[in-house]
Amino acid sequence: MTATAISVESISKRYQLGVINHGVLFRDIQSWWARARSLPDPNLKIGARTQAGNFNALQDVSFSVRAGETVGIIGRNGAGKSTLLKILSRVTAPSSGRIRVRGRIASLLEVGTGFHPELTGRENVFLNGAILGMTKPEIRRKFDEIVDFAEVGAFIDTPVKRYSSGMYVRLAFAVAAHLEPEILVVDEVLAVGDHEFQKKCIGKMQDVGAHGRTVLFVSHNMTAVNNLCARSILLRSGQVVADGPSSDVTRLYLKALDQGEQARWICPPDSSAGKQAYIAEMAVLDPQGTVREGYELTEDLRLRIRYHLSEAMGGITLGLQVSSDETGETIISLSDSELERSRLGVRRAGEHITEVRLPNRLLNTGVYSLRIGISRGRHEILDVAEGLAFRIIDSVGIVQYLGFERKGSQLAMQLPWTEEAA
Amino acid sequence: MESEEEGNWTTTIESERHWYAPDLRGLWQYRDLVMLFVRRDFVAIYKQSLLGPLWFALQPALTTVVFTIVFGHIASIPTDGAPPFLFYFTSVVCWQYFAGNVVKTSDTFVTNANIFGKVYFPRLTAPVSIVISNLLQFGIQFAVLACLIGWSIFQGAGVRPGPSLLLLPLLLIQMAALGLGVGLAVSALTTRYRDLAYLMSFGLQLWMYATPVVYPVSQIPQRWLWLAYLNPMTSVVESFRYVMLGVGGLTLELSMLGIAVTLVVLTIGLFLFARVERLFMDTV
């Protein structure tokens, strides 16, 4: 029996919403001095509780991975995948629990970290390799292999600012692919480059797994997860909901997308307590105002948000993000004060209802998730709501009429064509 | 089985809110990275413009002109017998290396947020590489200074760098260590208190006037001397002038005091930095 390579022991990560501290030394000293004399804190709202709301990105997550295993970690946006990755990569620390690791661990949350445009490809290979934990002799030994893999050939001594984006990504990935850690933690860096190159990368990752190394692979791409990983772990709202053979877990994930998650999200009653502001409800509606299972690409979409302020406040901004569930990329990001500065003025206490209309043929077919946040000023986040997914389908569009598939693209936006008179 | 499972873990990731020892071993393991950061900074400075290196030489010269007029001619502060222009230029070169280290290391977390958020490597590599990169600027200014001194000796001015010039590397290390220590402490505190960043440039200016940069130690009133010597930059600037121009100078005890205070500052900086480095990503 092989030894355990990673042991994750009831990891939790809590983010504090609201004011972490005043961000201003003077105010902190003022508060501290007042408390020291047991006077009321002059910087606290009267009657407000000192304890601000918390957001649990991960709750009591435990699992272990044996050496040589390749494990997929899947879940929707906001399920806690990236927080888990960050903790494993030691970019941030958990709030409680611990992780023990046996062997050198390398994580790829991004390719090309630290690439400098003025440096040549060669210089960047060394810099990036060192950032990822390779020593100079190690990089020197693999250098030719890296250049071959990246297919940049003669351009290796050209500053990377002159590279095409494809070359840049290939070189960046090539460095990462030639790391030789015992444990590799990979985020969806495979979602880059052209199809040929992706295939090559997946091949390289399979090699890594075959050489007895442990791989944790975080992805939205169920096909890749099924191909690469025998086992998968599904996260939802910061908890492990399934852990087992990839085929079962990915099926569960896709099923949850189809029915479990709805195009309407309502704030659980206990989680709004004590918050100065919170999102009470968000919903995706068709033009008639009903929540549906799928929305036609040819119809407008209404994103409806109900939020609540405990008191009149100024400087409030509502932020909205729509991201693709397939790639995890944010497609649309809006803030309600962008076009209407007056919204930064005082908003009354109580319930507000606001709506954004997305024009038809903007989003392409696929599953999208919606995330809403309320912030005040520059760094104060009062509330964040996520966990709403909706599907765009196309059963009446022109493409169907003509009888062929819509060509893949992020947006389905159509623009007028003009024809010049002959 | 159970016993085989225990032990020989290479890494343990534990929860927040503890004090940590600075990761000096990690810094040593990643020494290649430090040098690559330095190389990157060099290349970036050279490739962006030719004016960069020229500006390094011009900056202390302009400051020196101002100091010579204001403190030398208007206020007529004695300079221990050295030509005022040389006196101020020497002080400014020395002070600027220190201040440059403080300023540039103090925003380590902000400038590197992008990289720090993606990969773990010993965070200390970034500020340490800055202190080394700043040697480029110091080197250029030092070369100008050396030319000026050589020219003055040729002209028969009463300056004479002696065999104590051999102490120069030690002084440089002290300047670097002190600048790094202060910069690390500020960088750790600014992740919590953003207003400190504004205070810093003002604080540095005050510190410069509290340090014998525009005046020699011999002009400090007797009863304030103890305070001046607690400021580690006093011994650095005064010794630097002694080494370069052969004016002023300190006793060995006072130099040792300066070094001791430097070590204390560096240690505090390292510990504050180690405390913040694991969690700053949540707040930036």
3-state secondary structure chain A: CCCEEEEEEEEEEEEECCCCCCCCHHHHHHHHHHHHCCCCCCCCCCCCCCCCCEEEEEEEEEEEEECCCEEEEEECCCCCHHHHHHHHCCCCCCCEEEEEECCCEEEECCCCCCCCCCCEHHHHHHHHHHHCCCCHHHHHHHHHHHHHHHCCHHHHHCEHHHCCHHHHHHHHHHHHHCCCCCEEEECCHHHCCCHHHHHHHHHHHHHHHHCCCEEEEECCCHHHHHHHCCEEEEEECCEEEEEEEHHHHHHHHHHHHHHHCCCEEECCHHHHCCCCEEEEEEEEECCCCCCCCEEECCCCEEEEEEEEECCCECCEEEEEEEEECCCCCEEEEEECCCCCHHHHCCECCEEEEEEEEECCCCECCEEEEEEEEEEECCCEEEEEEEEEEEEEECCCCHHHHHCCCCCCCCECCCCCCCCCCC
B11: distance to nearest CA of chain A, Å?
5
As annotated, the residues of chain A forming the CATH 2.70.50.60 domain(s) are 264-402
B45 has pLDDT over 70: yes
Torsion angle, alpha carbons of B3, B4, B8, B10, to 10:
-120
A110: distance to nearest CA of chain B, Å?
7
> What are the chain B neighbours of A104 within 8 Å (beta carbons)?
10
Candidates A20, A116, A162, partner chain B, best to mutate (most B CBs within 10 A): A116
Percent of chain B with pLDDT over 90: 25
B79 has pLDDT over 80: no
Tally of CB atoms within 10 A around B185: 22
Backbone phi, psi, residue B161, to 5°: -65, 135
Q: Quick one: closest CA in B to A378, which residue?
A: B284
Rounded Cα gap, residues A41 and A44, in angstroms: 6
Return mean pLDDT, chain B: 83
Q: Quick one: closest CA in B to A103, which residue?
A: B10
- Output the tens digit of pLDDT for each of chain A's 422 residues: 568 888 998 888 887 665 445 456 666 666 666 666 666 555 554 433 334 466 788 889 999 999 888 899 988 766 788 888 888 888 888 888 888 888 888 877 777 778 888 888 999 999 999 988 888 898 999 999 899 888 888 888 988 888 887 788 888 888 887 887 788 888 765 555 556 666 677 677 777 666 778 888 887 667 778 878 889 999 888 889 899 998 888 888 776 665 555 778 887 766 676 778 889 999 999 898 888 878 888 889 999 999 999 899 998 999 999 988 776 678 899 999 888 888 889 999 999 999 999 999 899 888 888 889 898 877 677 888 877 888 888 776 665 566 555 667 788 888 889 998 87
Rounded Cα gap, residues B240 and B89, in angstroms: 11
Three-class HEC string of A105-170: EEEECCCCCCCCCCCEHHHHHHHHHHHCCCCHHHHHHHHHHHHHHHCCHHHHHCEHHHCCHHHHHH
Check if A329 contacts B (Cβ < 8 Å): no
pLDDT at residue A39 in the model: 60
B18 or B222: which carries more pLDDT confidence? B222
CB-based contacts of B280, cutoff 8 Å, min separation 6? B109, B116, B191
Rounded Cα gap, residues A284 and A274, in angstroms: 27
Of B14, B44, B282, the CB nearest to A98: B14
pLDDT at residue A110 in the model: 72
CA distances from B188 to A49, A140, B43, B177, B183 (A): 28, 35, 28, 16, 9
Q: Quick one: closest CA in B to A87, which residue?
A: B13
Of B32, B119, B282, the CB nearest to A92: B282
Rounded Cα gap, residues A336 and A317, in angstroms: 6
CATH fourth-level superfamily of A56-253:
P-loop containing nucleotide triphosphate hydrolases (3.40.50.300)
Helix (H, G, I), strand (E, B) or coil at B13: strand
Rounded Cα gap, residues B131 and B97, in angstroms: 9
Query: Are B166 and B126 spatial neighbours (Cβ–Cβ below 8 Å)?
Result: no
pLDDT at residue B94 in the model: 92
pLDDT at residue A30 in the model: 67
Using a CB–CB cut-off of 8 Å, the residues of B that contact A are 1, 4-5, 8-16, 30, 32-33, 36-37, 39-40, 43-44, 47-48, 114-121, 192-196, 278-279, 281-283
Check if A127 contacts B (Cβ < 8 Å): yes
Of A24, A88, A127, the CB nearest to B40: A127
Helix (H, G, I), strand (E, B) or coil at B106: helix
B276: distance to nearest CA of chain A, Å?
10
What are the tens digits of pLDDT across the range A254-292? 766 655 557 788 877 666 767 788 899 999 998 988 888
A130: distance to nearest CA of chain B, Å?
5
Top-tier CATH class for A264-402? mainly beta
Of B1, B15, B195, the CB nearest to A26: B195
CA distances from A212 to A3, A66, A85 (A): 12, 10, 21
> What are the chain B neighbours of A110 within 8 Å (beta carbons)?
118-119
> Are A91 and B119 in contact (CB < 8 Å)?
yes
Q: Quick one: closest CA in B to A126, which residue?
A: B36
As annotated, the residues of chain A forming the CATH 3.40.50.300 domain(s) are 56-253
Tally of CB atoms within 10 A around B167: 16
Check if A54 contacts B (Cβ < 8 Å): no
> Are A127 and B282 in contact (CB < 8 Å)?
no
Where does the pLDDT of residue B129 fall: very low under 50, low under 70, confident under 90, or very high at 90 and above? very high
Rounded Cα gap, residues B79 and B86, in angstroms: 10
A125: distance to nearest CA of chain B, Å?
11
Candidates A126, A139, A161, A188, partner chain B, best to mutate (most B CBs within 10 A): A126
Counted across chains A and B, CB pairs separated by less than 8 A come out at 124
> Are B12 and A99 in contact (CB < 8 Å)?
yes
What are the tens digits of pLDDT across the range A133-190? 888 898 999 999 899 888 888 888 988 888 887 788 888 888 887 887 788 888 765 5
pLDDT at residue B230 in the model: 86
Of A24, A92, A99, the CB nearest to B193: A24
Q: Tell me, rounded to whole angstroms, the distance of Cα A293 from its chain centroid.
A: 24
pLDDT at residue A270 in the model: 63
Check if A100 contacts B (Cβ < 8 Å): yes
pLDDT at residue A303 in the model: 94
Rounded Cα gap, residues A19 and A23, in angstroms: 9
Rounded Cα gap, residues B86 and B64, in angstroms: 8
Of A20, A132, A136, the CB nearest to B119: A132
pLDDT at residue A293 in the model: 74
pLDDT at residue A44 in the model: 52
> What are the chain B neighbours of A100 within 8 Å (beta carbons)?
9, 11-13
